[in-house]
Amino acid sequence: MGNRLSKIYTRTGDDGSTGLGDGSRVAKDSLRVSAYGTVDELNSTIGMVLACEGVDDAMRETLTQVQHELFDLGGELCIPGMAMIDDADITRLEQSLDGFNDPLPPLKDFILPGGGMAASCCHLARTVCRRAEREVIALGREESIRPQAQRYLNRLSDLLFVLCRVLARASGHGEVLWQHERRRKPNP
């Protein structure tokens, strides 16, 4: 393990810069910092899901593993040239997604965020995941990043969507379906 923090504030970021894992300094609003910062935010929102009632053991195990992998992904994004997320991580997400999705009925309508506290927190995590993915894509246009980072986040947002459905159904609230026909006007 690297250096342990014994002093939390260093004042080195007071000028609007921050240190990357390789020792270089960049602006705190750089694309790289935005990308790994949003991955950190995503990890926090998954922690919110885990703090909710109604998260069963299988989902808890899956999401805890995801939290570890998101910490790895943040490290990969913080250290240019580092490789921590690999194809096996993406395959594991796909397998988890398939396992949670198989018992669900086919989706015929769009779902609104809601369906109880755990499902709502999971919807928040899903949207933060999509933002992290967009920020990684933006970073990839400017700097070299590995494709696994983007693919991992894309697959994770799909998994989170499925978990939203599972949580909404398990809570008894059910999925909140978008009522698209409410805007239809009768023909004159």
Q: Are 22 and 79 in contact (CB under 8 A)?
A: yes
Q: Band the pLDDT of 25: cuts 50, 70, 90.
A: confident
Query: Closest Cα to residue 145, out of 135, 155, 158?
Result: 135
pLDDT tens sequence across 60-79:
999 999 999 999 999 999 99
Domains identified in the chain, total number: 1
Asked whether residue 188 is domain-assigned, the answer is no
Sign of CA dihedral 150, 152, 153, 158: positive
In a domain, 8, yes or no: no
Q: Are strands 17-19 and 176-177 parallel, antiparallel or unpaired?
A: unpaired
Mean pLDDT of 158-169: 97
| Angle of the 57-78 helix axis to the 87-101 helix axis, nearest 10 | 150
Contact 54, 171 (CB under 8 A): yes
CATH number at residue 176: 1.20.1200.10
Residues 124, 113: contact at Cβ < 8 Å? yes
CA-based R_g, the chain, Å = 19
- Residue 161 dihedral angles phi and psi, to the nearest 5°: -60, -45
Indicate whether 4 belongs to any domain: no
The length of the chain is 188
Residue 47: CB partners within 8 Å, gap ≥ 6?
67
Residue 100 sits in which domain range?
Answer: 27-182
pLDDT of 1 above 50: no
Statement: residue 18 has pLDDT above 50: yes
CB 111 within 8 A of CB 175: yes
Distance CA 60, CA 167 (A): 12
**Would 32 be classed as within a structural domain?**
yes
The vertex-44 CA angle with 43 and 46, nearest 5°, equals: 65
- Confidence band of 104 (pLDDT split at 50, 70, 90): very high
In a domain, 21, yes or no: no
Q: Tell me, yes or no, whether 119 lies in a domain.
A: yes
pTM as predicted: 0.88
Mean of the per-residue pLDDT values for the chain? 90
User: Within a domain: residue 3?
Assistant: no
Q: How many CB atoms lie within 10 A of CB 45?
A: 19
Q: Which of 164, 147, 21 is nearest to 89 (CA)?
A: 147
d(CA 20, CA 38): 15
Q: Does 12 reside within a domain?
A: no
- The SS3 of residue 176 is strand
Question: What average pLDDT does this structure show over 140-161?
Answer: 97
